[in-house]
Amino acid sequence: MTHYTASFVDILVTGGAGFIGSNYVRGVLSGRYPEVADARVTVLDKLTYSGNLENLRTVRDDPRFRFVQGDIGDAALLAELVPGHRAIVHFAAESHVDRSILGAAPFVTANVLGTQLLLDAARAAGVDRFVHVSTDEVYGSIDEGAWTEDWPLRPNSPYAASKAGSDLMALAAHRTHGMDVVVTRCSNNYGPYQFPEKVIPLFVTNLLDGRKVPLYGDGGNVRDWLHVDDHCRGVQLALEKGRAGEVYHIGGGTELTNRELTGRLLAACGKDWESVEPVADRKGHDRRYALDITKIQHELGYVPQVDLDSGLAATVRWYAGNRDWWEPLKARAALAG
């Protein structure tokens, strides 16, 4: 088992200006993870619509921080950038299911080909550890029980299929070339700085503006909710202590139907069900996701620390107090649409 210490870690974080990646970067540079308290961090981000330098404003003046705007699909850039880094934490991905249904090609290009090019560059540069961050959606849907890490992959959306492909390329790099690769798969994330196309920030910002929120189908789809702080804590444990070639699930431990989640958000924003607009269900909408997190608990000591009630309340407060962050994003999205 490889253990990483702050004395020799330079970390490359792809997608580090996005929701989850920026949370991880802020955590490293603020000392949230003692094992990498002195690490230098390079963020590589293409700054597509969901990447935002404002997500990194609290760390951008840190001398240990460097930002590079670029694409993981740019092999020449990777050949120049990757050498010198001892670890890569790979968050970069196209991640919105509805967008993948409208057009799958960008998801395959970014998630599968981009990941493979990054793996190639990491192998050529002799990177010590590569953490590939993935999703529970690669498994499809489960009626009861919970997926373990060896469950067959049965993705149902183009997004999920592209992530499954990237997972397999990462694991193949370990099995074929002996690369030190660890894969993490998480449940639905929430928290501050999440782009307002995702359900929680979309609903909260709509409700704060007195607008209605769209509830898919009968609202009976079930998701496990994971605060982004807990997710990033699990990713860091995988970097520090995960076994090469292994997959680890990172979950929050609280399942809700979409209807139950909507009710909580309505209450938090002082609204009622008059603010809900039922809409036709998404194509191929998975009914239920559920991750078994026994492995990461037993092997790496992961325990989710943010309970859903307090996490949702804090998230609603953050969006209420940070209109200057999300209002321009929603305005640009409306103009683009």
> Considering 136, 224, 229, 240, which one is annotated as catalytic?
136
The owner of tokens 């990177």 is 127
Q: Helix or strand or coil: residue 240?
A: helix
Facing residues of 12 across strands?
42, 88
pLDDT of amino acid 334: 67
* CA separation for the pair 132, 91 (Å, rounded): 7
Angstrom distances, CA of residue 173 to CA of 79, 92, 145, 183, 295: 17, 18, 31, 12, 22
Catalytic residue among 45, 71, 94, 137: 137
Question: Token pair of 231, please?
Answer: 């997710």
Asked about 137 being catalytic, the answer comes back as yes
Residue 243 has what DSSP assignment?
P
Q: Which amino acid is at 198?
A: K
pLDDT of residue 99: 80
Mean pLDDT by 10 residues, the chain (337 residues): 56 97 98 94 92 95 97 98 97 81 87 97 98 96 96 93 97 98 97 94 96 93 96 98 98 95 96 93 83 98 96 97 95 62
In the chain the domains, ranked by start, together with CATH numbers, are 7-189+227-252 (3.40.50.720)
- Give exposure, 174-208, as e/b (b: 16+ Cβ within 10 Å): beeeebbbbbbbbbbbbbbbbbbbbbbbbbbbbbb
Task: Say which of 24, 159, 248, 289 is annotated catalytic.
Answer: 159
> Three-class SS of residue 152?
coil
Tell me if the pTM is above 0.75: yes
Task: Please say whether the beta carbons of 25 and 56 come within 8 A.
Answer: yes
Is 327 annotated as catalytic?
A: no
Handedness of CA 103, 104, 109, 110 (dihedral sign): positive
Residue type, 85: H
How far apart CA 312 and CA 304 sit, in angstroms, is: 14
277 is catalytic: no
pLDDT at 6: 44
| Closest of 82, 93, 151, 156 to residue 119, by C-alpha | 82
